[in-house]
Every structure is written in structure tokens, then in C-alpha cells.
């Protein structure tokens, strides 16, 4: 690379002058080209239109869905049916359905599949589930609300009522299955009891025969029977007291764990579905803990659900809002239950003590009997106990039969949906497309402005004036249909302006270098047409193309067999490397030693010989960034044109190239601002051409934005 100590070919430096302007904090406002950002909105019209269309379509769809969504509500009532009476010696267990379980059972996949089948819906089970919301009507309420939302009012009513009836029917089927199991169980138990009674009667008859007992010999039968009954009642009292004591201790522990005051949260919102759900699970958990062991899976599952709901409510709270505490309503409710259970526990304890005293008295009476009388009395007491069990079993069987005939269940239909309600705030929903249009267009404009603000390319002439101390003598718009056949016609006026203004700025010159930061900015095109223009005005001109890349304005067969590098290496003469075309040209081919070749005496000899033959020598230099020997060529000329391709090169690259020229005091004579989007230019002629190409609607939009 060439550094500051690497002297250009002729050892001559240009006038010292700072090319890049320094921007201070005081004039930062003047260094911003706000027109560029405003005009740039036109460049991003497709983005604005797409954003507007997308948001308008989305909000229109949302408006349509909201305006065409109807809600229908069916209501169920949860009333825990009377359970079959059971005894302590029975192994039969009946399912106790809670309100929380009843709510979950409503939306079981089986129920939704039944709704789909009954109504013949062309919807998936998941789609039907998304249309349904099931919750408890309010705190301490047993009403279950089934709300269905659909774009058809009749469909919403049908789904709500069908789901309610299916849920009731399935609940009835569940109850009937339980009652059938209970009846079968008690029927088998009854047969066993009758068999035992027959065996007991035969045992009593045999005992009387063996001991020749008559009616006078069984004077103590009533005493024995009373003792048996008293012992059974004492056993029942002890069992009830133990069970109630366990429940009381469990409830007391739960009461002590619950805080007196709790912070208000999303659970405290009036009508909150989450709050109702928490209350349901809390009650179900208390009921389970009072009846089941602590490690029961049902208790663990309820505890997990409650923890997840508490976490969800905490996430819903605003972390910036101070917490407000209130009395824990659950603790108050548990306190009342604890007091009630304490009273029942004391009553059970008193009954147990009375039964114990009665049994002790009867034992004292029995001790006065003979062993035969005691045994006989025991047998009779066992017979009476079996008869009582048979009667109780018959009562339970009749209760089951009544339940089967009534067909009741835990869930009953309270109110069918008879009307679907249209959404509220329909006027606001109708305005949503307008909101989407404004939001989409505003976002599109804001995005366009942001993209333009952070655009790294140089777009406007004012940016050149703000950034550099070199005058811009021509602004050439982007020409989308520029071809070899029409290029001279389209560029003639701009080339003429460049020549006229360059003569005023640079004065008389023989050698002109056309350079740029990198390839693709239009440097070679302007070198070609400048040479042609000089030919037209009567000056003999030649192009020395040090840019070895193909020039689109020449055919490949127009290139001489030998190139500039051959001359510099002493392998050809000037005439051998010169193509006698319009204009005359000398072409260099790629050679890695070109940097060293341009600093030899052969280079000076060639320039001297060309000056003798031609009036104007135009050097087409390679890009400063592309090839490191470009600096060596620039020093050979008295005038220098620096071409900036607006839409092709970032400002940072331009700054870097001009900074390198500044380091060698090789400031350009003028700048050519090429390939500028016409909407950034204020030239009436350019704007007229641009508007004729873009159409009438773009003309109006351009005029509106520029105003």
C-alpha cells in the first residue's frame, strides 16, 4: 500500500486544502440534511403501502371477527346428591364429586366429541373447545356457566345447550353406574347376612337343647342383649370420636398455616375466573386433607394446581404497584368450621364417656350371671345384631332403588341458552379498519424515516455541501434505461455542464483524471463521454484507461493487441498501444507490478509524447479502494474529477478515499454526483423527466411531500 512516504510519480503535490469538513457540536444541526429524510419517504413507498395494507387487512379481519362473534350462555347447577348410607363394617366406597371436578368434566373431550356428532359440526374438537368457556358464576356459588362464542348466533345457542345436556346426561350415567354398583354390593351383603342369621339361629337352638334351657332360665337375656348393643354403640362412638379428632387436628394445622392477612392481587378482582378457580381448589383441598392421608395423590395434585394458580396471579400483578393487605377470608371461614367441629368433637367425647359408663354398669350385671347364661345371652345378642344389620341393609337397598328411579345426578340443567348476544362496543369495532390504516401507514412512514435517517449512502447534494470542501459541478440522476445506444443523447447536457464548470474552477489544463472510490460509480462512462465531447468541440482528445476492467462503451474487438503495461516495460511504442477510434484510447491490462511501472521514466515519456499529439489527455483511474496505484496517477494531472455514485457507495468509503487524497494534498478539482435518485433533486428539468417516467400519481405525491 502507498503511505505518506511513498512519493507519487513526478514528486509534485497539490495545494494543501482540507477536503473533509469537520463537524462540531455547535453546528451539528446544520450538518443534518432533514430534507433527505423527508424526501426519502418516497423511496420507501412500497414499504409504506405494504405496511398499510397488512395492518388494514389485520384490523379489518379483527373487526369482522368481533362484530360477527355472538355469545350464548347455558347454566348448570351443582348439587351434591345424597350418598348411599354406609356402615363402618362395609367396604363399599362411593365417589364424591366436587364442584371443581364437575367444572372440568363439562369440557372433557368425550363431551365435545358428542356435541360435534349430535350437531354434525365440521369442526375439530380443539376448535370447539376454543369456542367454550366454563366457570363458576360467582363466589360460593354452585352455578356453572357455559359460555359459547361463535360467528353464528344459532350455532352458539346450539353448542351451549347441547354441551349442557350432554354434561347432565353423562353425570346421570355416572350416578346410575354408582347406584348399580351399590345395589349389587348391598344385595350380596344381604345374602351373606341372611346366611349368617340362619347359622346363628341353628347355633342357639342347639345350645338350648344341649343345656336344656327353658324360658325361666334365660332371665338375663335382656341384660346380655343390652350389653351387646351398648358395646356396639361404644365402638361406634369411639370410632366417630377418633375420626372427628383426626379431622379436627388436620383442620387446625391448615388453619395455623394460613396467614391472617394476604395482599390483594389479580385473584381479588371482582368476577375473576382465576379467583373462583382458586376458591374451588382450596375447598376441595381442605375436604381431601380432612379425609385422606397427607401423601394421597389426589392431595398432591390439588396442591400443584393451587401453586400454579398463585404463580399465575403473581405474574398478573403490576410489580410497580404497592401491595395492599386485607383480612384473609379463607382463614375466617376455616375459623368458623374449626369452632363448629370443636363443638361436635366435645359432643362426641361426652357421648363416648356416657357409653363407657353404661358398658361398665352392664358388665357388673353380667358378672352376676352363670357362664351358661352369659354364653346364651351372647348368642342371642349376636342374632339380634344380625337382624339389625339385615334391616339396615334393606333400607339402603330401598334408597338405592329410589335413586335409580329418580335418575338424579350431581349436575342438573338450571337454564338453557335461548338467545345469543351480539358484542358490545360495536361502533368501536367498526372503526378498527380505520385504526389499522392509520397505524399501518404511520408505522410505514416511521420505518421509512428511520431507514432513511440511518442510510449510509450519500443521497442529496446538500450532504456533499455539508461534508466536503470540494464543489459539486453536476448532479446526474439514476437512469434506469441507459443503454449504449441512447447514453450519449441522455448525458450530453450533463457532460457539457461538467466541461463548462470545470474550466471555470480548474482553469486551463491538458491532463484530466477521472476517479472514484470504487468501481461501478460511473467514472469510466464520464471519461468516455468527456473525451467524445472534447472531440466534438474541436479538441483532439485521448483516454488513457488505467482501469483494466471492461468499459461498456467499447467492443472487445476495439482493444489493441498490446496494452499500456507493454509500453511501460519497453515492449511496445505509443502508436502500437493506441487505438484510433472515437475517441482515441490506450488500454491497460491487469498487471500486479503496475504500481511500480507508473513511477518509471517511461510513464513520464509517454505523457510527454501524448501531450505533443493531443490537446486533452483524460486518465481513467481505477478506484482508490480497488487499486493502490490510483494515487500515483492522480498526481499526473492538473484537473481531477471525483465521481460519487450515490446509490452505489457508502459515505464511509467516500470519506476514506478523500481522506487518502487529503493526506497527499491531492484534492479533487470538483465532484460529480452520479446515479442520484431523482426524488432527492430539486432540478426542474430532472424532476420533469422523472415524473414523466413514474406517472401522474407519483408526480402528485412527489409535489405533496416536497411541499
Check pLDDT > 90 for residue 54.
yes
CA-to-CA separations, 111 to 279, 414, 569, in angstroms, rounded: 25, 18, 95
- Local confidence band at 7 (pLDDT 50, 70, 90 cut-offs): very low
Q: What percent of the chain has pLDDT over 90?
A: 17
H helices within 367-424, ranges in order? Answer: 371-406
pLDDT at 81: 60
Write the pLDDT tens digit of every residue in 207-242: 888 877 665 444 455 666 677 788 888 888 888 888
**Which range has highest mean pLDDT (171-180, 461-470, 681-690)?**
461-470
- Local confidence band at 5 (pLDDT 50, 70, 90 cut-offs): very low
Check pLDDT > 90 for residue 136.
no
pLDDT at 8: 39
Q: Which of 26-35, 126-135, 526-535, 638-647 has the lowest mean pLDDT?
A: 26-35
- The DSSP code sequence of 482-521 is --TTTHHHHHHHHHHHHHHHHHHHH-S-SEEEEEESSTTS
Overall average pLDDT of the 135-147 stretch:
84
Check pLDDT > 60 for residue 15.
no
Cβ atoms of 551 and 528 within 8 Å: the answer is: yes
**C-alpha atoms less than 13 angstroms from C-alpha of 96 in its C-beta half-sphere:** 10
Cβ atoms of 470 and 643 within 8 Å: the answer is: no
For residues 108 and 404, the model is more confident at: 108
What the block records as the C-alpha cell of 67 is 362484530
Q: Which of 224, 216, 221, 102 is nearest to 167 (CA)?
A: 102
- Taking the C-alpha atoms of residue 137 and residue 76, their distance in angstroms, rounded to an integer, is 10
Q: Give one word for 176, left, alpha or beta, with left for phi > 0 and alpha for psi -120 to 50.
A: alpha
Q: What crossing angle do the helices spanning 273-291 and 329-366 adopt, rounded to 10°?
A: 20
Cβ atoms of 652 and 456 within 8 Å: the answer is: yes
Measured from the Cβ of residue 4, the count of other Cβ atoms closer than 10 Å reads 8
Mean residue pLDDT across the chain: 80
What the block records as the C-alpha cell of 253 is 394445622
For residues 499 and 400, the model is more confident at: 499
CA angle, 258 as apex, 254 and 264 as ends, to 5°? 150
- Local confidence band at 340 (pLDDT 50, 70, 90 cut-offs): confident
pLDDT at 423: 66
pLDDT at 217: 47
CA angle, 656 as apex, 653 and 659 as ends, to 5°? 150
- Taking the C-alpha atoms of residue 135 and residue 147, their distance in angstroms, rounded to an integer, is 9
pLDDT at 608: 92
For residues 436 and 210, the model is more confident at: 436
Q: Which of 11-15, 21-25, 568-572 has the lowest mean pLDDT?
A: 11-15
- Local confidence band at 557 (pLDDT 50, 70, 90 cut-offs): low
pLDDT at 511: 94
pLDDT at 634: 86
CA angle, 695 as apex, 694 and 696 as ends, to 5°? 140
Write the pLDDT tens digit of every residue in 92-118: 555 667 888 888 888 888 989 999 899
Helix or strand or coil: residue 670? strand
- Taking the C-alpha atoms of residue 232 and residue 162, their distance in angstroms, rounded to an integer, is 51
Whole-prediction pTM: 0.52
Helices (H) and strands (E) in the chain, counts: 24, 14
- Taking the C-alpha atoms of residue 629 and residue 595, their distance in angstroms, rounded to an integer, is 5
Check pLDDT > 90 for residue 89.
no
Check pLDDT > 60 for residue 166.
yes
In eight-state DSSP terms, residue 182 is H
Q: Which of 31-35, 113-117, 299-303, 383-387 has the lowest mean pLDDT?
A: 31-35
Amino acid at each position: 500500500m502507498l503511505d505518506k512516504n511513498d512519493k507519487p510519480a513526478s514528486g509534485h503535490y497539490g495545494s494543501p486544502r482540507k477536503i473533509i469538513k469537520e463537524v462540531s457540536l455547535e453546528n451539528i444541526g446544520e450538518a443534518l440534511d432533514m430534507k433527505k429524510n423527508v424526501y426519502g419517504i418516497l423511496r420507501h413507498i412500497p414499504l409504506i403501502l405494504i405496511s398499510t395494507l397488512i395492518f388494514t387487512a389485520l384490523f379489518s379481519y379483527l373487526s369482522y371477527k368481533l362484530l360477527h362473534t355472538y355469545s350464548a350462555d347455558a347454566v348448570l347447577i351443582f348439587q351434591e346428591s345424597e350418598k348411599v348410607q354406609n356402615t363402618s363394617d362395609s367396604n363399599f366406597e362411593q365417589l364424591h364429586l366436587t364442584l371443581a371436578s364437575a367444572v372440568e368434566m363439562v369440557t372433557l373431550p368425550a363431551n365435545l366429541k358428542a356435541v360435534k356428532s349430535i350437531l354434525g359440526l365440521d369442526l375439530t374438537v380443539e376448535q370447539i373447545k376454543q369456542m367454550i368457556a366454563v366457570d363458576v358464576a360467582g363466589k360460593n356459588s354452585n352455578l356453572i356457566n357455559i359460555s359459547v362464542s361463535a360467528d353464528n348466533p344459532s350455532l352458539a345457542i346450539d353448542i351451549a345447550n347441547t354441551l349442557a345436556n350432554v354434561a347432565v346426561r353423562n353425570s346421570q350415567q355416572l350416578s346410575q353406574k354408582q347406584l348399580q354398583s351399590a345395589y349389587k354390593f348391598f344385595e350380596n351383603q344381604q345374602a351373606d347376612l341372611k346366611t349368617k342369621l340362619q347359622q346363628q339361629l341353628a347355633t342357639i337352638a342347639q345350645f338350648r337343647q344341649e343345656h336344656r334351657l327353658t324360658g325361666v332360665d334365660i332371665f338375663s337375656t335382656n341384660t346380655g342383649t343390652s350389653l351387646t348393643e351398648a358395646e356396639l354403640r361404644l365402638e361406634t362412638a369411639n370410632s366417630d370420636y377418633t375420626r372427628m379428632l383426626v379431622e379436627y387436628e388436620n383442620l387446625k394445622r391448615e388453619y395455623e398455616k394460613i396467614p391472617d392477612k394476604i395482599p390483594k392481587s389479580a385473584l381479588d378482582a371482582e368476577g375473576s375466573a382465576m379467583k373462583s378457580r382458586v376458591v374451588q381448589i382450596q375447598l376441595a383441598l381442605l375436604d381431601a386433607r380432612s379425609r385422606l392421608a397427607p401423601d394421597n395423590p389426589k392431595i398432591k395434585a390439588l396442591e400443584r394446581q393451587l401453586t400454579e394458580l398463585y404463580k399465575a396471579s403473581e405474574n398478573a400483578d403490576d410489580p410497580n404497584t404497592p401491595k395492599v393487605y386485607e383480612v384473609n377470608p379463607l382463614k375466617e371461614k376455616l375459623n368458623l368450621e374449626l369452632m363448629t367441629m370443636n363443638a361436635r368433637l366435645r359432643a362426641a367425647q361426652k357421648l363416648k364417656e356416657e357409653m363407657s359408663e353404661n358398658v361398665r354398669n352392664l358388665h357388673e350385671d353380667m358378672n352376676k350371671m352363670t357362664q351358661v347364661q352369659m354364653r346364651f345371652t351372647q348368642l342371642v345378642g349376636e342374632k339380634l345384631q344380625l337382624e339389625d344389620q339385615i334391616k339396615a341393609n334393606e333400607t339402603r337397598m330401598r334408597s338405592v332403588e329410589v335413586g335409580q328411579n329418580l335418575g338424579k345426578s350431581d349436575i342438573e340443567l338450571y337454564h338453557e341458552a335461548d338467545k345469543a348476544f351480539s358484542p358490545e362496543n360495536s361502533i368501536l369495532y367498526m372503526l378498527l379498519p380505520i385504526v389499522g390504516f392509520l397505524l399501518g401507514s404511520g408505522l410505514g412512514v416511521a420505518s421509512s424515516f428511520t431507514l432513511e435517517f440511518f442510510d449510509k449512502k450519500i443521497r442529496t447534494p446538500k450532504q456533499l455541501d455539508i461534508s466536503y470542501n470540494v464543489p459539486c459541478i453536476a448532479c446526474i440522476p439514476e437512469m434506469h434505461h441507459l443503454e449504449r445506444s441512447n447514453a450519449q443523447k441522455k448525458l450530453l447536457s450533463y457532460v457539457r455542464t461538467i466541461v463548462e464548470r470545470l474550466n471555470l474552477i480548474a482553469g486551463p489544463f491538458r491532463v484530466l483524471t477521472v476517479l472514484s472510490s470504487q468501481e461501478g460509480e460511473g467514472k469510466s462512462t464520464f471519461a468516455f463521454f468527456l473525451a467524445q465531447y472534447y472531440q466534438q468541440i474541436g479538441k483532439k482528445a485521448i483516454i488513457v484507461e488505467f482501469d483494466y476492467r471492461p468499459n461498456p462503451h467499447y467492443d472487445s474487438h476495439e482493444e489493441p493487441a498490446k496494452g499500456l503495461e507493454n509500453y511501460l516495460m519497453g515492449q511496445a511504442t505509443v502508436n502500437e498501444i493506441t487505438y484510433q477510434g472515437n475517441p482515441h484510447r490506450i488500454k491497460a491490462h491487469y498487471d500486479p507490478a503496475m504500481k511500480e511501472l507508473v513511477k518509471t521514466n517511461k510513464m513520464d515519456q509517454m505523457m510527454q509524447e501524448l501531450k505533443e499529439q493531443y490537446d486533452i489527455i483524460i486518465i481513467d483511474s481505477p478506484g482508490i479502494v480497488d487499486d493502490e496505484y490510483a494515487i500515483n496517477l492522480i498526481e499526473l494531472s492538473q484537473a481531477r474529477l471525483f465521481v460519487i455514485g450515490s446509490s452505489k457507495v457508502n459515505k464511509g468509503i467516500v470519506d476514506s478515499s478523500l481522506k487518502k487524497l487529503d493526506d497527499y494534498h491531492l484534492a479533487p478539482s470538483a465532484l460529480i454526483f452520479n446515479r442520484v435518485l431523482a426524488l432527492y433533486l430539486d432540478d426542474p428539468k430532472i424532476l420533469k423527466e422523472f415524473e414523466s417516467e413514474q406517472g401522474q400519481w407519483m408526480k402528485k405525491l412527489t409535489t405533496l411531500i416536497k411541499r
